[in-house]
Amino acid sequence: MSDAKITLLMVNDYPDYIDPKVWSRELSKRVPELEFRLWPNRGNPADVHVVLLDKAAPPGLFDGMARLRVLIFLGAGIDGLRVADVPAGVGIVRLATRELASEVVQHILLRVLYRQRHAAEYAVQQRQREWHPIAPAKTGETSIVLLGAGRIGGWAARLFAELGYRTTVWSRSAKQIANVECYHGPSGFKPALEERDYVICTLPLTGETRGILNAGSFAIMKKGAFVINVGRGAHLDEEALIRAIDDGKLSGACLDVFSVEPLATSSPLWTHPRVTITPHVASYWVDSGIDQAAEVCQQVKSGAEISNLVDLNRGY
């Protein structure tokens, strides 16, 4: 169908993050003969070749889509998608852009440096007009582990190593990163966690990683370790985290993702003095995925192999 019209249907449940007018305009610039439709105005479903989706599919979305070739899920992971709803033979692509990865890496660096360089303490000093220099922990004596060594975790690990931190990663399969100690698999989890000042979760959410930050893993960690979670809320047992902080095992946490979002106003995380909350903003500009979506549309249009397909056996 190299010269034929291609039809794309977008489902947008997050207008604060995603502007369908921008996507329509920019995709039309990049993909000749593109017809852009916005749910629920899907027109003739038999015409649809590509679906853009940002959460679980609404009932009946895929009915009659005999020519559907690919679903582009507008997230870094597909844990919010009911894969069983997707018709057999339809490929699934998740967002995997340099821009989104860069934003998450920036957030990780910010959270470590904010704490290490005593930014909160200096803000208090300024309000009180006080002058008390505080020595930061020496970089070469600060140990960091990234759980996940892919596009985000691997990039963050390389940056931390270049800055002089004692850097470790743990991943599903073996990795090699210059100046970074690498562990993998179940047998590598405990040594990866031990004696780290910062434990940073960047993992995809799979059956193997769900609940990985729990009472057992907190018990392995160094006394005073600080947890940063930019993966998924379901990676973390929130009650166990609070207990570990209150018991003095952990020094605190910075959380960008939660098991239920938005975080309930009744959650004790809001008011805990050693927990910092951000509202799932480690990456924000989903619009950076327009180029990737356009590339997928071009591949569909030309009949080419679809790139960056999710491996459903791995879950990412």
Extract the runs of DSSP E, i.e. beta strands, from 20-130: 34-38, 50-53, 70-73, 91-94
Q: Is 98 a catalytic residue?
A: no
Cα–Cα distance for residue pair 247/146, rounded to 1 Å? 24
Verify cis geometry, omega within 30 degrees of 0, for the bond prior to 273: no
* CA distances in angstroms from 104 to 110, 132, 152, listed in the order given: 10, 32, 7
Q: Is 243 a catalytic residue?
A: no
Handedness of CA 152, 157, 162, 165 (dihedral sign): positive
Handedness of CA 254, 255, 256, 262 (dihedral sign): negative
Residue whose C-alpha is closest to residue 257's, from 117, 154, 63, 104: 104
3-class DSSP state of 304: coil
Backbone dihedral angles phi then psi of residue 135, each to the nearest 5 degrees: -70, 125
**How many Cα neighbours within 13 Å face the side chain of 265?**
0
Catalytic residue, from 111, 151, 166, 280: name it.
280
Cα–Cα distance for residue pair 316/211, rounded to 1 Å? 17
Residue whose C-alpha is closest to residue 199's, from 163, 164, 241, 162: 241
Cα–Cα distance for residue pair 15/48, rounded to 1 Å? 22
Instruction: Give residue for tokens 């006394």.
Output: 223
Verify cis geometry, omega within 30 degrees of 0, for the bond prior to 40: yes
Catalytic residue, from 115, 196, 232, 235: name it.
232
Residues annotated as catalytic (active site), given as ranges: 232, 280
